[in-house]
C-alpha cells in the first residue's frame, strides 16, 4: 500500500469535480495502466457506495410510507366512527378530514420519492454520472529526471560554490596568524 501511495498522485482541480490521477513508475506502460485501473476502481467504488446509500434511503422511505398508511387508516376509522349529525362530532370530523388531507399529501410525496429512488437504483448512478475525460497514455518522453533543469541547477550551484571557495582562499592567504587586520583595534 505504501508503494502504491508513492506511485500515485491524485489531485482535485480547484472549484471543480475533476479529479486528476497520475502514476509515476519506471515502465511508462505500467504507469498508464495503473492510472487507468485506479480510475475504473474509483468509478466502481462510487457506484457501490451510491447503491448502498440508495438502498438505505429506499428502506427508510418504505418505513415512512408504512407509517403514513397506518396513520391514514387510523384517521379514516376515526372519521367513520363519528356521528355526522352531531355538530361537535361534525367539527371534529372536519378537523380530522383536513389532517387526513395533509397526511395524504405527505403519503403521495413519499410515493414519488420511492419511485425516484427506484429510478436512481436502476440507473447505476456512479457509472452513468462519472466520465473519464481522458485515459492515461504512455508518455513519449520520460517525465523525470529533467536533465536540462538539473544541469542548469548544477551549473548555478557550482558557480556559487567556486566563488565562495575563491573568496575564502583569498581571505585565508591574506590573513596571517598574529597579524592584526586593518580597521580592528588590537586585542589586549
What is the domain partition of the chain in residue ranges?
2-132, 145-174
Q: What percent of the chain has pLDDT over 70?
A: 88
Q: Rounded to an integer, what distance in angstroms lies between the CA atom of residue 88 and that of residue 95? A: 11
Q: Rounded to an integer, what distance in angstroms lies between the CA atom of residue 123 and that of residue 115? A: 12
- For residue range 45-99, list pLDDT tens digits in order: 888 888 899 899 999 999 999 999 999 999 999 888 888 788 888 888 889 999 9
- For residue range 91-129, list pLDDT tens digits in order: 888 899 999 999 999 999 999 999 998 888 777 666 666
- What is the reported pLDDT for 124? 66
pTM: 0.57
* Nearest one of 109, 106, 103, 117 to 59, comparing CA atoms: 117
Amino acid at each position: 500500500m505504501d508503494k502504491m501511495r508513492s506511485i500515485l498522485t491524485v489531485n482535485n482541480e480547484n472549484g471543480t469535480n475533476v479529479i486528476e490521477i497520475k502514476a509515476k513508475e519506471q515502465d511508462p506502460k505500467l504507469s498508464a495502466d495503473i492510472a487507468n485501473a485506479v480510475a475504473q476502481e474509483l468509478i466502481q467504488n462510487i457506484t457501490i457506495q451510491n447503491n448502498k446509500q440508495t438502498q438505505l434511503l429506499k428502506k427508510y422511505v418504505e418505513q415512512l410510507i408504512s407509517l403514513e398508511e397506518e396513520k391514514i387508516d387510523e384517521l379514516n376509522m376515526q372519521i367513520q366512527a363519528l356521528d355526522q349529525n352531531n355538530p361537535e362530532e361534525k367539527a371534529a370530523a372536519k378537523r380530522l378530514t383536513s389532517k387526513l388531507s395533509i397526511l395524504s399529501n405527505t403519503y403521495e410525496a413519499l410515493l414519488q420519492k420511492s419511485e425516484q429512488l427506484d429510478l436512481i437504483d436502476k440507473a447505476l448512478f456512479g457509472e452513468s454520472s462519472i466520465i473519464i475525460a481522458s485515459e492515461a497514455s504512455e508518455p513519449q518522453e520520460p517525465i523525470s529526471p529533467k536533465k536540462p533543469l538539473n544541469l542548469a541547477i548544477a551549473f548555478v550551484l557550482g558557480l556559487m560554490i567556486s566563488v565562495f571557495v575563491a573568496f575564502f582562499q583569498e581571505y585565508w592567504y591574506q590573513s596571517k596568524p598574529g597579524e592584526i587586520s586593518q580597521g580592528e583595534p588590537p586585542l589586549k
